Amino acid sequence: MTRERLGRTLHFWDSIAITVGIVIGVGIFRTPAEVARYIHSPIFILLAWCAGGLISLLGVFCYAELASRYPATGGTYVFLREAYGKLVGFVYGWSEFSINRAASIAAVAYIFAAYLGNFIPFQAGHEKWIAIFTIILLTLINMLGLRLGVGVQNFLSAFKVAAILTIVGLIFGFSGKAGIQSASYLGSESFNLSHFAPALIPVLWSYGGWHESTFMSGEFRDTRRELPLAIITSALIVMALYVLINSAYLRVIPAVEMAESKAIASDALKRIFGSQGQIIVSAAVLISALGALNSTILTGGRIPFAVAQDSSRLAWFRKVDGRFKTPLRSLGLNGFWACMLVLWGNFEQLLFFTAFELWFFFTLVGISVFILRRKASLGDNFTMFGYPYVPILFTLVAAWLCWTTVQHSPRESLFGAILIAMGIPFYFLIGKEKYKAIV
């Protein structure tokens, strides 16, 4: 079977821009209120965000080693395929592309269009067309060359970090002048695991995407050292930014009041600058949404490409354009399906199962570290810190969060399990081929 290959041109800062661009989306401007509904102590709220960062780091170390060992485009798909066989890899690729990835693109595009209305007035109901136009535009940008798409991402990610630091600086710098007394980060609430555990769900959702640059492993120049270190550095940057901005929120909004906020960043700046504060936040959300959207399109287009590498029936989608050196057809398929979900308008329902799917496959990835270490020696590839404790902890936490999702959202989890299982008949219909591993 002929295999198409993408050029290796990406480097350290490209990985950081891609990861930061996806992880820091619009969630950090909303989810802190969800966390405060479970935890009313400022210090434990900050500890929850630290815990989320540390849990993410467990996964980051696992992915860093796996990406170094298997530097092929596809990320999680490649790791699961090598550990469990092509069926499991295909089922992951199916569930990630058909629902999770496209629905995420559609949702973020819709949020971008909604916030754009704060600056450019347009008629009600036009949000869908603006969202579709944005998806098409960014898909075309990423089709026209990897350096162009990544260049746009580098620019957006830099602005995104600058926007968060600006919000933090404005809150700490002007809250005193606005007459807001310094908040105490110490609370009287004692530690309660039954409250802390569900609070981690929105926290970890906000950290989601730390593994995204591994979907493009086949396009990085140095996957043995540079890519793993970039993934780890990205996670530390995001963790620091999240703790900083939550500290800023708590500086002006008590934890109990934070729980009632529907737009925490907007409410925080509004207390200092009035209505002008909302404009600042709207601009920050626009930048974050656009960066997250571009990164998700950039990496998501590699999933159908990677799956198609292993199936002659899907060969049309593994074509690499000779001029632009990008998987045009795979990117186009990804963008087209996302636009269809926007037109359908019920894509929010498709997001219900994403937590179950995410932690189910993360559990399998955690176990795969042990399987793949037994299959072949590490050689001079990146070796994770703290083996075997790190992958054991990551696997246990992922399994626990998967089970917690089932307990809190049984219907949505069942729906997610059914959608994942639908990939099995599709595998035997279009994906089954004589398998030969690639590394």
Half-sphere exposure of 417 (CA within 13 A, CB side): 10
> Is residue 136 assigned to a domain?
yes
Q: Supply the pLDDT for residue 436.
A: 46
pLDDT of residue 183: 57
**Is 424 contained in some domain?**
yes
pLDDT at position 191 is 58
Q: Is the dihedral of CA 317, 113, 138, 29 positive or negative?
A: negative
Number of Cβ atoms within 10 Å of the Cβ of 173: 10
Residue with tokens 């973020």: 108
Inter-CA distances, 229 with 65, 68, 80, 123, 370, Å: 10, 10, 22, 47, 21
Q: How many domains does the chain have?
A: 1
CA distance 425 to 365: 23
Q: Which domain holds residue 250?
A: 12-431
Does residue 388 have a cis peptide bond before it, meaning omega lies within 30 degrees of 0?
A: yes
Structural domain includes residue 439? no
The pair of structure tokens assigned to 100 is: 């999770």
Contact in structure between 42 and 184 (CB atoms under 8 Å): yes
Does 4 map to a domain? no
Query: Which parts of the chain register pLDDT below 50?
Result: 346-348, 434-439
Q: Residue 260: CB partners within 8 Å, gap ≥ 6?
A: 33
Q: pTM of the entire structure?
A: 0.87
Res 438: pLDDT: 39
Q: What is the CATH number of the domain that holds 211?
A: 1.20.1740.10
For residue 114, tell me if it sits in a domain.
yes
Confirm whether 354 is domain-assigned. Answer: yes
Instruction: Give one DSSP letter per residue of 338-356, joined into a string.
Output: HHHHHHH--HHHHTTTHHH
DSSP one-letter code for 122: -
pLDDT digit string (tens) for 404-438? Answer: 888 877 887 888 888 889 999 989 887 666 444 43
Residue 2 within a domain? no
Is position 59 within any domain? yes
